[in-house]
A = this chain, B = another copy of it.
Protein backbone atom coordinates (compact mmCIF):
# COMPACT_ATOMS: atom_id res chain seq x y z
CA UNK A 1 0.00 0.00 0.00
CA UNK A 2 0.93 3.64 -0.27
CA UNK A 3 2.85 4.86 2.76
CA UNK A 4 0.90 7.01 5.20
CA UNK A 5 2.14 10.51 5.94
CA UNK A 6 4.58 10.16 8.82
CA UNK A 7 5.78 13.68 9.56
CA UNK A 8 4.87 17.32 9.36
CA UNK A 9 6.72 20.55 9.99
CA UNK A 10 5.27 23.54 11.80
CA UNK A 11 6.74 26.90 10.83
CA UNK A 12 6.41 30.54 11.73
CA UNK A 13 5.64 32.94 8.88
CA UNK A 14 8.55 34.61 7.08
CA UNK A 15 7.70 38.12 8.26
CA UNK A 16 7.96 36.96 11.86
CA UNK A 17 11.18 34.99 11.32
CA UNK A 18 12.74 38.08 9.73
CA UNK A 19 11.47 40.51 12.34
CA UNK A 20 13.86 41.90 14.96
CA UNK A 21 12.45 40.92 18.33
CA UNK A 22 13.56 42.10 21.76
CA UNK A 23 15.82 39.75 23.69
CA UNK A 24 13.87 40.45 26.86
CA UNK A 25 10.32 41.39 27.70
CA UNK A 26 10.99 42.44 31.22
CA UNK A 27 7.44 43.36 32.19
CA UNK A 28 4.03 41.83 31.67
CA UNK A 29 3.08 45.04 29.85
CA UNK A 30 5.85 44.51 27.28
CA UNK A 31 4.77 40.90 26.74
CA UNK A 32 1.18 41.99 26.17
CA UNK A 33 2.28 44.79 23.88
CA UNK A 34 4.13 42.31 21.67
CA UNK A 35 1.38 39.70 21.45
CA UNK A 36 -1.20 42.35 20.56
CA UNK A 37 1.05 43.64 17.79
CA UNK A 38 1.88 40.17 16.43
CA UNK A 39 -1.78 39.10 16.51
CA UNK A 40 -2.70 42.06 14.35
CA UNK A 41 0.25 41.63 11.99
CA UNK A 42 -0.54 37.95 11.56
CA UNK A 43 -3.94 38.49 10.04
CA UNK A 44 -2.82 41.60 8.14
CA UNK A 45 -0.12 39.47 6.48
CA UNK A 46 -2.69 36.73 5.77
CA UNK A 47 -0.52 34.22 7.59
CA UNK A 48 -3.16 33.05 10.09
CA UNK A 49 -5.82 34.16 12.52
CA UNK A 50 -5.59 37.10 14.95
CA UNK A 51 -3.75 35.29 17.71
CA UNK A 52 -0.22 35.44 19.10
CA UNK A 53 1.66 34.14 22.12
CA UNK A 54 5.12 34.45 23.64
CA UNK A 55 6.97 32.23 26.08
CA UNK A 56 9.40 34.01 28.40
CA UNK A 57 11.63 33.16 31.32
CA UNK A 58 9.66 34.38 34.31
CA UNK A 59 12.52 35.97 36.21
CA UNK A 60 14.65 37.48 33.49
CA UNK A 61 11.98 38.12 30.89
CA UNK A 62 14.17 36.46 28.27
CA UNK A 63 12.11 35.81 25.15
CA UNK A 64 12.23 32.06 24.51
CA UNK A 65 9.71 31.70 21.68
CA UNK A 66 6.96 33.40 19.75
CA UNK A 67 3.92 31.83 18.15
CA UNK A 68 1.12 32.98 15.91
CA UNK A 69 -1.93 31.17 14.66
CA UNK A 70 -1.04 29.07 11.59
CA UNK A 71 -4.18 26.95 11.10
CA UNK A 72 -5.03 27.85 7.53
CA UNK A 73 -1.53 28.34 6.03
CA UNK A 74 -0.24 25.06 7.51
CA UNK A 75 -3.53 23.16 7.07
CA UNK A 76 -3.31 22.20 10.72
CA UNK A 77 -6.25 22.82 13.03
CA UNK A 78 -4.13 22.55 16.17
CA UNK A 79 -1.57 25.16 15.07
CA UNK A 80 -2.96 27.78 17.43
CA UNK A 81 -0.62 30.52 18.65
CA UNK A 82 -0.26 28.94 22.09
CA UNK A 83 0.60 25.50 20.69
CA UNK A 84 3.11 27.08 18.30
CA UNK A 85 4.82 29.13 21.04
CA UNK A 86 4.90 26.25 23.54
CA UNK A 87 6.11 23.75 20.95
CA UNK A 88 8.87 26.06 19.71
CA UNK A 89 9.96 26.84 23.28
CA UNK A 90 10.13 23.13 24.07
CA UNK A 91 12.03 22.52 20.86
CA UNK A 92 14.50 25.31 21.65
CA UNK A 93 15.12 23.91 25.13
CA UNK A 94 14.88 20.22 24.22
CA UNK A 95 12.38 19.73 27.03
CA UNK A 96 8.75 18.67 26.90
CA UNK A 97 8.34 20.17 30.39
CA UNK A 98 9.10 23.89 30.62
CA UNK A 99 8.89 23.50 34.40
CA UNK A 100 11.40 20.67 34.62
CA UNK A 101 14.09 20.64 37.25
CA UNK A 102 17.18 22.48 36.10
CA UNK A 103 15.25 24.93 33.94
CA UNK A 104 14.25 28.47 34.96
CA UNK A 105 10.51 29.02 35.39
CA UNK A 106 8.62 30.00 32.22
CA UNK A 107 5.42 31.90 31.53
CA UNK A 108 3.17 32.39 28.51
CA UNK A 109 1.43 35.59 27.42
CA UNK A 110 -1.42 35.55 24.89
CA UNK A 111 -3.69 38.13 23.32
CA UNK A 112 -6.91 36.28 24.05
CA UNK A 113 -8.18 33.75 26.56
CA UNK A 114 -7.38 30.12 25.82
CA UNK A 115 -9.71 28.04 23.69
CA UNK A 116 -10.71 24.60 24.95
CA UNK A 117 -7.69 22.96 23.31
CA UNK A 118 -5.11 25.53 24.36
CA UNK A 119 -6.33 25.34 27.95
CA UNK A 120 -5.12 21.74 27.91
CA UNK A 121 -1.97 22.59 25.97
CA UNK A 122 -0.99 25.13 28.65
CA UNK A 123 -1.80 22.61 31.40
CA UNK A 124 0.66 20.08 29.94
CA UNK A 125 3.42 22.50 28.97
CA UNK A 126 5.09 23.12 32.31
CA UNK A 127 4.70 26.92 32.24
CA UNK A 128 4.19 28.51 35.65
CA UNK A 129 2.12 31.49 34.61
CA UNK A 130 -0.40 32.67 32.03
CA UNK A 131 -1.32 36.24 31.26
CA UNK A 132 -4.05 37.13 28.77
CA UNK A 133 -4.74 40.52 27.21
CA UNK A 134 -8.43 39.87 26.54
CA UNK A 135 -11.08 37.47 27.75
CA UNK A 136 -14.83 37.24 27.49
CA UNK A 137 -17.63 36.82 24.96
CA UNK A 138 -16.41 39.53 22.59
CA UNK A 139 -14.18 37.24 20.56
CA UNK A 140 -17.04 34.95 19.61
CA UNK A 141 -19.46 37.86 19.20
CA UNK A 142 -17.19 39.96 17.00
CA UNK A 143 -15.58 37.30 14.88
CA UNK A 144 -17.70 34.17 14.92
CA UNK A 145 -14.79 32.06 16.16
CA UNK A 146 -15.86 29.16 18.39
CA UNK A 147 -13.69 28.93 21.51
CA UNK A 148 -15.27 25.70 22.69
CA UNK A 149 -16.45 24.96 26.20
CA UNK A 150 -13.90 25.50 28.94
CA UNK A 151 -14.43 23.79 32.23
CA UNK A 152 -16.05 26.48 34.43
CA UNK A 153 -13.19 26.33 36.93
CA UNK A 154 -10.44 26.75 34.33
CA UNK A 155 -8.49 29.29 36.35
CA UNK A 156 -8.62 27.10 39.45
CA UNK A 157 -7.61 24.06 37.39
CA UNK A 158 -4.53 25.92 36.17
CA UNK A 159 -3.76 27.22 39.68
CA UNK A 160 -4.08 23.69 41.08
CA UNK A 161 -1.23 22.69 38.75
CA UNK A 162 0.98 25.58 39.79
CA UNK A 163 0.08 27.96 36.96
CA UNK A 164 -0.63 31.52 38.09
CA UNK A 165 -3.27 33.27 35.96
CA UNK A 166 -3.66 36.99 35.23
CA UNK A 167 -6.68 37.36 32.97
CA UNK A 168 -7.76 40.25 30.73
CA UNK A 169 -5.07 42.76 31.64
CA UNK A 170 -5.57 44.80 28.44
CA UNK A 171 -9.12 43.97 27.56
CA UNK A 172 -10.08 46.98 25.46
CA UNK A 173 -6.95 46.81 23.33
CA UNK A 174 -7.42 43.07 22.83
CA UNK A 175 -10.99 43.63 21.70
CA UNK A 176 -9.76 46.29 19.28
CA UNK A 177 -7.63 43.67 17.48
CA UNK A 178 -10.66 41.38 17.18
CA UNK A 179 -12.75 44.24 15.86
CA UNK A 180 -10.09 45.04 13.26
CA UNK A 181 -9.97 41.37 12.25
CA UNK A 182 -13.73 41.26 11.91
CA UNK A 183 -13.86 44.46 9.85
CA UNK A 184 -11.15 43.09 7.54
CA UNK A 185 -13.58 40.46 6.28
CA UNK A 186 -11.01 37.68 6.60
CA UNK A 187 -12.34 34.16 7.03
CA UNK A 188 -12.91 32.38 10.33
CA UNK A 189 -11.50 28.86 10.25
CA UNK A 190 -13.43 26.64 12.62
CA UNK A 191 -13.73 23.11 11.29
CA UNK A 192 -16.67 21.50 9.47
CA UNK A 193 -17.02 24.39 7.05
CA UNK A 194 -18.09 26.57 10.02
Contacts and interface: CB of A to CB of B under 8 A. Distances in A.
Contacts of A120: 115-120, 148
A106 B37 CA distance: 37
**Residue with the greatest number of chain B CB neighbours at <10 A, chosen from A75, A89, A157, A162:** A75
Interface in A134-176: 146, 148-154, 157, 161-162
Contact of A99 (B86, B91, B193): B193
B121 A119 contact: no
B191 A124 contact: yes
Nearest to A8: B91
A29 interface: no
Interface of A: 1, 3-12, 16-17, 20-21, 23, 63-66, 71-72, 74-78, 83, 86-101, 115-121, 123-126, 128, 146, 148-154, 157, 161-162, 189-194
Contacts of A74: 96
B150 A65 contact: no
A193 B9 contact: no
Contacts of A157: 148-149
A121 B117 contact: yes
A77 to B, nearest CB: 4
A123 B191 contact: yes
Given A8-B10, A100-B192, 4 more contacts: A7-B12, A78-B86, A120-B148, A149-B157
Nearest to A115: B120
Given A117-B121, A191-B99, A87 B78 contact: yes
Nearest to A1: B23
A3 B14 CA distance: 13
20 contacts: A1-B23, A5-B91, A6-B17, A7-B9, A7-B88, A75-B91, A75-B93, A76-B87, A96-B191, A101-B193, A115-B120, A116-B120, A120-B120, A120-B148, A123-B148, A124-B190, A124-B191, A125-B191, A128-B192, A161-B191
